[in-house]
Structure 1
């Protein structure tokens, strides 16, 4: 019985020695080699040294963003640090003592290496793309139109470009073959475009009213509101708000106290008289057959339009609003002369919004398109 136990003990000891020796020999051969079956971005790196693997990984990192002929170098400091940490898991650390390294390797837990754990640092990449975008981006320039000296004057617009940060990052993070990655950019169309502006040309509304130029403060208010309305462009489907465009009538804005109607009585208040602007605009809007969103009439008759065809406004309380339901942009021209206010609407005529046949006004209108009221 003792001999059998002794024999078993000898066999176990021999087995341990054999296994230990095998482990030592195996470690000696593979301690600076990647595990078998390890791939990086489609390439087998089995049995390669740390230096070889490190070099191959860095060769696969994109090193620049390009746009047209410009090159913007990339820096991967945080990414490279993460690569080194990943390599520390793949290759056993050394202590300087071969025996200690053997024992440490034998007791090292088994790690499943995943290449998914190795990727570009998103924050590092995004911050660089944002910096490059500031050099690449170009703002769009809208086309403009104004009615000056009896004619419509236009300036062309131009498209803009803007780097798509997320799309470029996705392309960058998935690239493991090309050293340079072309930036993804979006083309920004101006609104309005040159095409939009070119289509404006039909007179849809043209209405004139008159005022007493000797009422200096009221005249001042009428002129200020007209300046705010003049050459205002309304997009198709857009709702125009008189109060929003003209703004609050204050002394700081240059408005003066003049007669206003309040509860069937007349008082002096800042901005008195600008209801002539909103009412004249309303008449032009009626001519153009545009959709009225909000309108209010005065509590007493006014002198500049037919009774019941006015549009009173009071900032923050009463507004005049209408919708541009034409097929294109709508241009407002508001001009004043010695004793008159003329509002024109230019746009694209259709069956619902036909061309105006003759300029109109109260109590009279201009004799022709090219002549101002007298």
Structure 2
């Protein structure tokens, strides 16, 4: 009896297991996704792709980053795949919109992303189509993983770390950086405080430009070949004058000692001039003195004493004559 009960339980368990296995064979992941995500009750559109990879039914549909619907079906055609989607509410999708299949992470859920490229007013009507020329299919997951593996294992991260270390070595010490930043802040503050001076300089340049513009023809003539030749010759002239002027200055500086001499010469010339004038006015007397007194005396020097007296007035000329005769001085 107990053996029969055990056999019936085993048969029932086996039947239940077969039922579960058979039911599992008919399980559709797309139907599971659609039962979880609501497709909404809005308009429907169709988006054509070359390849949708693992895009399941019920995936999100976004427009410019905002969720606007869900995928209701994926149908394989001859040269492309039609992705049917239902939009929630009244969403206006431009006819020139671009579509792509994206994943936020490498193993994240894929979704259809719609991006507006212009501000056109024409929109996709319900049941409309976004053609293959406006869509971009996702790269295979294997290619993405291969790129990531190549990036990680190929030394790119290590190279980036080496570059960062090199930059840290090349950059100055943090204290020096702070010092430079502090000096720069002081300089910028000083510069900002002196903007009035800069404004004044700019106003001066503007006024100078306004003053120069009416004289541009003269300025062009001055800067022509003939004008430049003139300025060149003028520069040579001034360079010569620059050599002469210091020499003249040294002569003046060294000629101070001549001033007393020149004053003395001036006085002597005045005295001589007065003597010459006196000689001219007494020419007759001088001529008589020279002809009757000086020249005869020089020819025959002699002395004639006509009188000699003592302090009390006594005439002694006779006694002197006797004495001189005795000495043989006179005859």
Same fold per superposition (TM over 0.5):
no
Bigger RCO (CA 8 Å, 6+ sep): 1
* Structure having the higher Rg: 2
Higher share of residues assigned strand: 1
Give me the TM-score of the superposition, normalised by structure 2: 0.17
Higher share of residues assigned helix: 2
